[in-house]
Structure 1
């Protein structure tokens, strides 16, 4: 059980949702507009799943969240109560590496914003939320791909956003290893620099070289771009 004092400390120093979460939910919606079920792997405080659910007619869709961190699970449960969506969201407190593939079920969409630094890359943050969000302490892209593949219904899509601190060739190799075909790729720019990459994948044969789109999120002066503002407005933010 996580105390209110621990949660309060985490809120001040821990993980906050970011543009990558919003983009992951957005591209999931665009890739599968008729989806009724979503699985979010490593769901953290629940941003991706809740942003996706908010765009669905009430009572027509279900979200399953899988998260291992005690603090994140506690904060997410509080959010679910405040938003009164407990009946529409199943929050599983578990390590994705320990999941029996048959226990999760099948989903129309699977999403993930996995950690991007190896266990030994630099110093671990003192805050546990930041450490697990950034470092592959419970597995990396390959582990996320393995679970995603087993949880996808026929015709489902897998949407993933990862920062460019991760090696793009390594990520693409992991996707290929688990038979994913990249259907869409978006390079995400902040202040003119490539910061993140979003991919939409399927288990069906796709483009060998999908078109690469570009989204500029933040201008050189730090202001949000008009494209990102429009995207957020479309998401109700």
Structure 2
């Protein structure tokens, strides 16, 4: 019976087998996440995306011994729970301002038997008093909203507005929050639009951080990258001789630039590397 529950279109789900009873309300869905984990989402609200999966994958690929993890602007918990699936011994703290999103995250944590590993804080991550000044984290993750409130048409669903638009700060505020809460030698991972990179660089500099590594994301082979993933640390945690190596020929701190991650090949099929990346965080290829 267990093997039957682990099968999905020829793929065997790794990790713990979760068989909780679902409690789906009329305006909700319960959807697959990592392995047997599932996530509650509003049918017409903000739903987890490829961006969230990429942050969790990148963070856990390059911060494998993290014991204490903080997820900033955690939304419905998709980044944190995917990270938790891959770091089974880590403890998590999440900060999210929208109570409606925190409510869904709590339901998902209960369903996935993760309540003992998580502390959920409802509040604005710009508020430095939400966490004790002595509480620091080995790993911090973030998937900031990408657009100022003046850019684009705002959704009628209030949850979507704050997830997509900068209603409570921008990427520079994420950098400030990360700098406040990083443990010595800790790492901050985030995803952000490639064409808005200058705002990120401004935030990194302002917060006393440095980008160590970055990787552009191309959604269709041959197209320009829309997003980039970043690994960031505190500048003073590294020897001075490292810094010059992390600047481009144009004196921009973008870190070691890895080859772009391609999501789909030219023929429309999922790219082999992304298939393997998905497998590593408990998703079918």
The two structures have a TM-score, normalised by structure 2, of 0.76
Take 2:54 and 2:103, find their aligned partners in 1: how far apart are those partners? Answer: 24
- Compute the RMSD of aligned alpha carbons: 2.0
Report the equivalent of 1:88: 117
Q: Are 2:153 and 1:123 equivalent residues in the alignment?
A: yes
Counterpart among 134, 137, 145 of residue 107 in structure 1? 137
Counterpart among 77, 85, 100 of residue 46 in structure 1? 77
Report the equivalent of 1:65: 94
Radius of gyration: which is bigger? 2
Report the equivalent of 1:223: 269
Q: Deviations over 1:104-147 (max 9, x none)?
A: 72000011000111111122111122211111000001111111
Report the equivalent of 1:212: 257
Q: Deviations over 1:69-109 (max 9, x none)?
A: 12211111110010011000111111112231752720000
Q: Are 2:266 and 1:236 equivalent residues in the alignment?
A: no
**Cα pair 1:101 1:150 within 8 Å, conserved:** no
Gaps of 5+ in 1: none
Take 1:41 and 1:102, find their aligned partners in 2: how far apart are those partners? Answer: 12
Q: Deviations over 1:4-28 (max 9, x none)?
A: 45556x6222111112111111121
Local SS of the residue matching 2:132: helix
Report the equivalent of 2:183: 153
Take 1:144 and 1:153, find their aligned partners in 2: how far apart are those partners? Answer: 16
Report the equivalent of 1:193: 224
Counterpart among 171, 175, 178 of residue 207 in structure 2? 178
Take 1:79 and 1:56, find their aligned partners in 2: how far apart are those partners? Answer: 17
1:45 CA displacement: 1.0
Q: Are 2:56 and 1:18 equivalent residues in the alignment?
A: no
Take 2:130 and 2:162, find their aligned partners in 1: how far apart are those partners? Answer: 23
The two structures have a TM-score, normalised by structure 1, of 0.91
Local SS of the residue matching 1:147: helix
Take 1:215 and 1:153, find their aligned partners in 2: how far apart are those partners? Answer: 29
Local SS of the residue matching 1:230: helix
Take 1:218 and 1:17, find their aligned partners in 2: how far apart are those partners? Answer: 19
